[in-house]
Amino acid sequence: MTDNKPETAQIFGKGSNQVVWLTIILGLAGVAGAGALLFIIDRGPLHTNQGVYVNQDVPFSHDHHTEGLGLDCRYCHTSVEDSAFAGIPPTATCMNCHKTVWANTEMLEPVRDSWQTGQPLEWNRVNDLPDFVYFNHSIHVSSGVGCESCHGPVNEMPLVYQEHSLQMRWCLECHRSPEDFVRPKDEVFNLDWEPSDEGMSQKELGKKLVAEYGLEPKQNCSTCHR
């Protein structure tokens, strides 16, 4: 009886091997695909907001005020040279000029309201680092890191967008090789500056400046995550 086991008692049918291969391949593809999907989402503007224009109640144009009128960044961002925070100007700074220039336009209605009531204007933040990252503007500005290196061509932005991902790997690009980014200290606020203005390539000039300024950007975890 035990010798005559019928063939139909086989557990696996003829196609079983194919099913197994298909499962393995689709499974691997699924894992890889999910990984790739996460990778793409993580680095893209969906997650980082990179390149996304941010709307404001008052459509303030950096392009107009800097390229058009020639104002220096520091006219409004007064604390950028000696504090962690660059500073958002109080309404009083707007009113230095706008008490008489464009003083009746609808566009500036919220500014005048703020001036009369003392209630600060609300601005929507563009470049927002996570709260577990310590960042200080003054040390970067005084080391020869131009505004443009992080903020992009703000002087040509009617509405501001975030130029870079602000992810850690992006910070480290410069902390690992500052010579690729550093510029002369008196050109930090000049967003039209090019390394060719000094008659050198960025690499040559950068190496010279890194030595001259004694730059040793740290890569310790605790430098930024303190």
Other beta carbons within 10 angstroms of residue 206's beta carbon come to 21
Number of residues interacting with other proteins: please give it, by CB under 8 A. Answer: 31
Binding-residue pattern over the window 130 to 169 for other proteins, x denoting contact by CB under 8 A: xxx-------------------------------------
Other beta carbons within 10 angstroms of residue 23's beta carbon come to 10
CA atoms within a 13 Å half-sphere pointing along the CA-CB vector of 94: 22
Cβ nearer to other proteins, comparing 17 with 96: 96
Task: Quote the tokens at residue 55.
Answer: 């709307």
Site for other proteins in 71-90 (CB under 8 A): 71-72, 74-75, 78, 84-85, 88, 90
Torsion angle, CA of 179/185/186/190, rounded to 10 degrees?
50
Cβ nearer to other proteins, comparing 26 with 172: 26
- Distance (Å, rounded) from C-alpha 51 to C-alpha 43? 12
Site for other proteins in 8-37 (CB under 8 A): 30, 33-34, 37
Tell me which residues touch other proteins (CB under 8 A). Answer: 30, 33-34, 37-38, 41, 69-72, 74-75, 78, 84-85, 88, 90, 92-93, 95-97, 99-101, 119-120, 122, 130-132
